[in-house]
Chain A
Amino acid sequence: MTDPLLAPPKKNPQQRSTSPTRPPEMRSRAALGLTAAAAEGRLALQCCSECATWQYPPRDACVACLSNDLPWVDFPPQGQLLAETTVQTSPRLYYRERVPWRIGTVKTDAGPMIIVHIHPDVTPQSAIHLTAHLDRAGQGVLVAMPPQETPNAMDAPLMRELTADPKHRRVLLTDARAENAPAMAKALKDAGAAIIFIGESESWRPYTARAALQEIGVEFMPLDVTDTLSVQTLAGEIGGKTDILINNAQFVRPGGALARGDVGFAQNEMDVNYFGMMRLAQAFGPGMCKRTADEANSAVAWVNLLHIGALANTPEYGAFAASQSAAHSLSQSLRSEFRTAGLRVMNVFSGPTESDWFASLPPPKVLPQSLARDVIKGLQAGVEDVWSGDIAKDVRDRFRRDPKVLERELTFGGDGP
Chain B
Amino acid sequence: MTRRAPASYHGVVLTAPFSTPYQRYSIDTAHHWIARALKGSLDSVGLKKSQLDGFSVSSFTLFPDSAVGLTQHLGLSTRWLDHVPMGGASAGVALRRAARAVQAGDADIVACVAGDTNHIDSFRQLLSSFSRFAMDASYPYGYGGPNANFALLTDHYMNEFGATRTDFGRICVSQRDNALKNPRAVMQKPLTLDQYLKARLIADPIALFDCVMPCAGAESFLVMHEDKALQLGIPFARLTAAIERHNAHADDPMQLRGGWTLDRDTLWEMAGCTPLDIDVMQTYDDYPVIVMMQFEDLGMCEKGEGPTFVRDHDLTINGNFPHNTSGGQLSAGQAGAAGGFIGMVEALRQVTGQASGTQVKDAARALVTGFGMINYDRGLCTSATVLETGVRA
Contacts and interface: CB of A to CB of B under 8 A. Distances in A.
Interface in B138-155: 138-145, 147-148, 151-153, 155
B142 A125 contact: no
A89 interface: yes
A404 to B, nearest CB: 33
B141 A141 contact: yes
Nearest to B157: A83
Given A27-B135, A57-B133, A87 B148 contact: yes
Contact of A105 (B139, B203, B254): B254
A113 B206 CA distance: 21
B3 interface: no
Contacts of A26: 128, 135
Closest 3 CB pairs of A and B: A85-B151, A57-B137, A92-B143
A94 B139 CA distance: 12
A107 B136 contact: no
A214 interface: no
Interface in A37-62: 56-58
B28 interface: no
Interface string B110-147: 00000000000001100110001101111111111101
A113 B250 CA distance: 11
B204 A88 contact: yes
A89 to B, nearest CB: 6
Interface string B74-88: 000000000000000
Nearest to B134: A57
A116 B141 contact: yes
Interface of B: 123-124, 127-128, 132-133, 135-145, 147-148, 151-153, 155-156, 159, 200-206, 250, 253-254, 376-377
Contact of B152 (A63, A85, A94, A99): A85
Given A82-B254, A88-B201, 20 more contacts: A24-B128, A24-B139, A26-B128, A26-B135, A30-B136, A58-B136, A58-B137, A83-B155, A83-B159, A84-B152, A85-B206, A86-B201, A87-B142, A88-B202, A90-B143, A91-B127, A92-B124, A105-B254, A115-B377, A117-B142
A135 B155 CA distance: 26
From A24, A26, A85, residue with most partner B Cβ within 10 Å: A85
A105 B154 CA distance: 12
B314 to A, nearest CB: 30
B110 to A, nearest CB: 34
B144 A24 contact: no
A139 interface: yes
Nearest to B151: A85
Contacts, number: 115
Contacts of B376: 57, 115
Given A86-B204, A88-B203, A88-B204, A105 B143 contact: no
Contacts of B202: 88-89
A87 B148 CA distance: 6
Contacts of B205: 85
A96 to B, nearest CB: 9
Contacts of B124: 91-92
Given A85-B151, A87-B144, A125-B159, A27 B123 contact: no
Contacts of A103: 141-142, 144, 148, 152
B137 A56 contact: yes
Interface in A58-85: 58, 63, 82-85
